[in-house]
Amino acid sequence: MALLGSICTNEVGLQLLLCPLGSNIVIRTACCSVGIGLPVYSTFKAIERKNEDEQQKWLMYWAAYGSFSIVEVFSDKLISWFPMYYHLKFAFLVWLQLPSVDGSKQLYKNHLRPFLLRHQARVDQVVGVAYGEMVRLVSTHQAEIQFARSMVLKIIGTADQIFRGTVKPDQPGGLNAIEGPPTATISDVESDHED
């Protein structure tokens, strides 16, 4: 009986994964697990073992995966409507990792590396401008960033207190309000105009 239950469970799982008209949530979860989850753990193992060949293999994978993700961001709304899109994506992600075909290495050496070498100066220029703009944006909005940081820390602290049971959310006066930067009142504005 246990064997029959195991066969039925495996068959149902396989049908859910491969059923083109079924819910895409299963295949999308499988794509995320295979495309990100397993490679993160494999990268961790390569780093901890100090195995340079494995580290290089996973660096090539992340370069290929990152390039695929950039293309997918701009084309996902269009191509996700194609039948079996997520199944093809799943197969592509498995192909990138399979040791027998070394898909990520093929993609990196045959397409990505030549493209980046050809356009390296322009990419460096764009990255430099983007980095400079990001630094300028952060320095310009330092007060807002500090305010957002303090709000997040207060929320995390309050949630921690609630989870530990030291404060009840419905307890009057138990939770401190999150206060924003001081704002001018009507009387403050009127007194400024009188001067």
For 131-162, what is each residue's pLDDT tens digit? 999 999 888 988 898 999 999 999 998 888 88
Distance (Å, rounded) from C-alpha 161 to C-alpha 72? 41
For Cα atoms 137, 178, 181, give the angle at the middle one, nearest 5 degrees: 45
Distance (Å, rounded) from C-alpha 70 to C-alpha 184? 45
Q: What is the pLDDT of residue 4?
A: 43
Report the mean per-residue pLDDT for the chain: 80
113 or 176, greater pLDDT? 113
Count the neighbouring beta carbons within 10 Å of the beta carbon of residue 76: 13
Lowest mean pLDDT among 15-19, 100-104, 158-162, 186-190: 186-190
Domain residue spans in the chain? 2-118
Cα distance between the two ends of the chain: 90
Mean pLDDT across 82-109: 90
Lowest mean pLDDT among 1-5, 27-31, 47-51, 150-154: 1-5
- Nearest Cα residue to 27 out of 46, 14, 39: 14
Mean pLDDT across 37-43: 93
Indicate the pLDDT class of residue 7, thresholds 50, 70 and 90: low
